Homo-oligomer: A and B are copies of this chain.
Amino acid sequence: MLIDISSAVSFLKSHDNFTILTHAHPDGDTLGSGFGLCLALRALGKKANVVNNEELPPKFRYLDIEPQEFEEQTVVAVDIADVSLMGNDIRAKYETKVDLSIDHHGSNRLFAGLNYVDSSAAAAAQIIFEVVEQLGVEITPQMADCLYTGISTDTGCFRYANVTPATLRTAARLMELGANASEINVRMFETKTRTYAALERLALDGMQFFYDGKCALITITRAMFAESGSDENECDGIAAISRQIEGVLVGVTMRERRDGTYKASVRTHDPVDASAICSRLGGGGHPNAAGCQLPGTREEATKLLIDTIGEYL
């Protein structure tokens, strides 16, 4: 069932012992939303934990908080558009047990009992900020760091088309409430590990163009991880690179998984719809940033993806 923000707030107020779920391959928005909401619920005297499907990537560990001991009664999902994005462990346990989902993906499949979805929000954390304000919680600097992280990472630091005046004003308010915006920005956007820098160079070396330069493809193989010393956790930045080349409307990054199949990140400029492309292939996301899993070998995956993109150009 779709609900509005005041119903979501009432639900949170009238429940306790929360497990908050984040999505697999956690990013700044799902983590910032999860930990921000968790801290706010605790500030109301409730028990709450964030449960992640896998270990936090090192760059996000500053968001982490100590778990509490309690018997779980209420399950909330943040920034999760569909159960398929939960990650296997969380999905196995919680697929049919989510009481409330708070999300900003237009493609949200309403898998929870109650679903509050605001696709006008640039980040789930922008929604969580409103929720926390309506809960009457005083936002601490730690909560502000969480929510700022969510907003800044999901907007490429206020760069993408999903930014609205409300996004910028929420960020301004979070700075006033003590968010260490500049430190977070340096950590998220101005820091490349040496291993990432090495991976980036390998990725750029192999960039391919299709459809008169309208589509650019970067492929990251396990061998490139080995050569650079980098890994999956460092790939987010690379997904943005191919779309940046002048004339490119669709930038694609294919990343080899441990089992030899590929995961694709698709970034587009308007009017090309990344979400439509990825939905065709069983994935989903936003109009300008989406993803999907691809079957088969590198050659098969590339052909399937590039052919599909061709239909949208």
Question: Which A residues form the contact surface with B (CB < 8 A)?
Answer: 156-161, 163-166, 168-169, 171-173, 175-176, 181-182, 185-186, 189-194, 197, 201, 204, 240, 243-246, 269
Contacts and interface: CB of A to CB of B under 8 A. Distances in A.
A169 B174 CA distance: 12
B159 A193 contact: no
Number of copies: 2
A191 B246 contact: yes
A186 to B, nearest CB: 7
Contacts of A243: 190
Contacts of A171: 158, 168
A159 B172 contact: no
A62 B269 CA distance: 19
A168 B172 contact: yes
Given A157-B158, A194-B246, A269-B186, A172 B165 contact: yes
B190 A159 contact: yes
Given A169-B168, A175-B168, A197-B245, A163 B182 contact: yes
Contact of A172 (B157, B169, B190, B193): B169
Contacts of A269: 186
A185 B157 CA distance: 11
Contacts of A191: 244-246
B169 A246 contact: no
Given A168-B172, A169-B168, A175-B168, A159 B189 contact: yes
A182 B185 CA distance: 19
A160 B194 CA distance: 21
A214 to B, nearest CB: 13
Nearest to A181: B163
The 8 closest A-B pairs by CB, nearest first: A165-B172, A168-B172, A161-B182, A158-B158, A168-B168, A159-B185, A157-B159, A193-B246
Given A158-B171, A163-B181, 14 more contacts: A156-B157, A158-B158, A158-B185, A163-B175, A165-B173, A165-B176, A168-B175, A169-B169, A169-B172, A190-B240, A191-B244, A191-B246, A193-B245, A194-B245
8 contacts: A161-B182, A165-B173, A165-B176, A169-B169, A190-B243, A191-B246, A193-B246, A197-B245
Nearest to A246: B193
Contact of A192 (B165, B166, B245): B245
A110 B272 CA distance: 50
